[in-house]
Amino acid sequence: MSKLILILLYISVLLSTQSTFSWCNSAEEDGIISEFQQYLRFPTAHPNPNYKPAQEFIVSKAKSIGLNTQLLEFAKGKPIILLTWTGKNPSWPSILLNSHLDSVPAEPEKWVHDPFQAIKDIKGNIYARGSQDDKCIGMQYLEAINRLKTKGYQPLRTVHVSFVPDEEIGGRDGAGAFVSSKEFKNLHVGFVLDEGQASPDENYRVFYADRIPWNLIIRATGAPGHGSKLYDNSALENLMRSMDAITRFRSAQFDLVKAGLAEPGEVIAVNPVYVKAGTPTPTGFIMNLQPSEAAAGFDIRLPPTADPQLVRKRISEEWAPAARNMTYQILEKGPIWDTQGRPLLTVANDSNPWWLLFEQAIMATGGKLRKPEILASTTDARFVREQGIPAFGFSPMANTPILLHDHNEFLNEGEYLKGIKVYAAIIESLSSFIESDHSIASKDEL
């Protein structure tokens, strides 16, 4: 299908979206906000998330909308809620809208309102752990589908909505297990939307890749010696020389961000997380002994555009060279490539029809998008990208401070309601997409 036909097809979808979106009255809005607050109050924060009440709430909400519901469990007490709106052409690749049920903990005494009461202040800001990350999007998906159903829209493609546990602790028992299951394979997912992040300005943010985390431990050894003696190759001297080299690399990467030449997610981050050395005493350390061993740990984040071989070379030659009695260990916290050997990213330009549909749906609602970004941290989207399935991270929160994992996390009710409208347009455009031989030429290009 040529791009022109695609756009014409899309415009017809837009017109239908706009004409039927007079939005809802204020009583309906109040109901929508109060259900969001209810979902926020379920205790799904780590370290002891209780998923059951949230699960029952979502299932009952989904049934009231008329979605098929299914519960999967790959680890005890960790449910995956799968909701399905069957399209007219169920054999076509489906759309999956994912969010996670859990959240990080909160320190209530450091908040202006209780983080688990979802209190709405006079400005309409709803304070709660999970209000941005990411209970908002889970409920917005459902409200958007409800809107579309109410106006009589029927999708061509099947739309699935998943609520998964444990994203905040790595997602292995949640999205990780789900995506590698036969149940997931049977969904025949063609495109995924997952969480993004708030944007402090008027432009929404969208993420086409996550950085890949590595844990690096470097160890140095050397002859021990008296604290007073100057000599070469002590363990700590070797470690300090490495720290110097790493600091220089870190600064060079950070300078690119500070100069506006790269976004934070586009550079390699190397941050020290611990240093271990010295001979302890009950009150401190022995001060007149240079130790024979020293070690340091680093959190490294690689964008999928980085060459991991070059990073390994740098580590072995500059950061932990055997010539200075050093060894190292890299713990890769996820693959660099997808199952076909391609970098873990989803193309975010006009060559990807999913991108075109997504971008134009947002514009049709009056929304603006910032240049697509690589997320500095990781989300569940990486599991589906590993399978070669295109996925974008997107949470419709403009004009909102970035407060995920922070004190006083909040989302304004107006922004939340606007997000429902945006999702309705996106879901309608994605689920009515007619694929031709040329429009999605091959997954290889995505």
The verdict on 210 binding Zn ion (CB under 5 A) reads: no
Is the CB of 195 or the CB of 415 nearer to Zn ion? 195
Is the CB of 134 or the CB of 373 nearer to Zn ion? 134
| Contact present, 334 and 383 (Cβ < 8 Å) | no
> Residue 141: which of 177, 192, 175 has the closest Cα?
192
In whole angstroms, the minimum distance from the beta carbon of 168 to Zn ion comes to: 7
Residue 445: DSSP 8-state: G
Is the CB of 137 or the CB of 362 nearer to Zn ion? 137
> Of the candidates 102, 134, 194, 359, which one interacts with Zn ion according to CB under 5 A?
134
Stretch that binds Zn ion, among 127-135, 197-205, 242-250, 416-424 (CB under 5 A): 127-135
303: CB partners within 8 A, 6+ apart:
209, 211, 212, 265, 266, 267, 268, 374
Distance CA 68, CA 82 (A): 8
Cα 292 off chain centre by: 42
Stretch that binds Zn ion, among 80-88, 128-136, 251-259, 327-335 (CB under 5 A): 128-136
Reduce the DSSP state of residue 246 to 3 states and report it: helix
Q: Is residue 437 flagged as an active site residue?
A: no
| Contact present, 181 and 74 (Cβ < 8 Å) | yes
Residue 42: DSSP 8-state: S
| Contact present, 235 and 256 (Cβ < 8 Å) | no
Distance CA 371, CA 119 (A): 33
Cα 408 off chain centre by: 20
133 assigned binding-site residue:
yes
In whole angstroms, the minimum distance from the beta carbon of 172 to Zn ion comes to: 15
Catalytic pick among 102, 210, 359, 409:
102
Is the CB of 133 or the CB of 373 nearer to Zn ion? 133
405 assigned binding-site residue:
yes
Distance CA 372, CA 142 (A): 25
Q: Give DSSP secondary structure letters for 261-295.
A: SS-GGGS-EEEEEEEEES-EETTEE-SSEE-SEEE
Return the exposure string of 313-344: e unless at least 16 CB atoms fall within 10 Å of the residue's CB, then b: ebbeeebbbeebbbebebeeebebebeeeeeb
168 assigned binding-site residue:
yes
Stretch that binds Zn ion, among 134-142, 314-322, 411-419, 431-439 (CB under 5 A): 134-142
Stretch that binds Zn ion, among 46-54, 120-128, 133-141, 253-261 (CB under 5 A): 133-141
Q: Which of residues 181-200 bind Zn ion (CB under 5 A)?
A: 195
Structure tokens, 367 = 């929304």
Binding mask 76-115 for Zn ion (x = CB under 5 A): ----------------------------------------
The verdict on 133 binding Zn ion (CB under 5 A) reads: yes
| Contact present, 16 and 103 (Cβ < 8 Å) | no
252: CB partners within 8 A, 6+ apart:
none
> Residue 211: which of 276, 268, 164 has the closest Cα?
268
Catalytic pick among 167, 380, 409, 413:
167
The verdict on 143 binding Zn ion (CB under 5 A) reads: no
In whole angstroms, the minimum distance from the beta carbon of 133 to Zn ion comes to: 4
Q: Is residue 167 flagged as an active site residue?
A: yes
Angle, alpha carbons 76-81-87 (nearest 5°): 150
Q: Give DSSP secondary structure letters for 383-423.
A: HHHHTT--EEEE----S----TTSTT-EEEHHHHHHHHHHH
Is the CB of 379 or the CB of 432 nearer to Zn ion? 379
Is the CB of 133 or the CB of 386 nearer to Zn ion? 133
Tell me the site size for Zn ion, rule CB under 5 A.
3
Is the CB of 93 or the CB of 196 nearer to Zn ion? 196
Distance CA 342, CA 336 (A): 8
Is the CB of 406 or the CB of 435 nearer to Zn ion? 406
- Partners of 330 in beta bridges: 216
| Contact present, 130 and 44 (Cβ < 8 Å) | yes
- Binding region: 100, 133, 168, 195, 405
Q: Which residues in this chain contact Zn ion in the complex, by CB under 5 A?
A: 133-134, 195
- Binding region for Zn(2+): 100, 133, 168, 195, 405
**Which active-site residues does the annotation give?**
102, 167
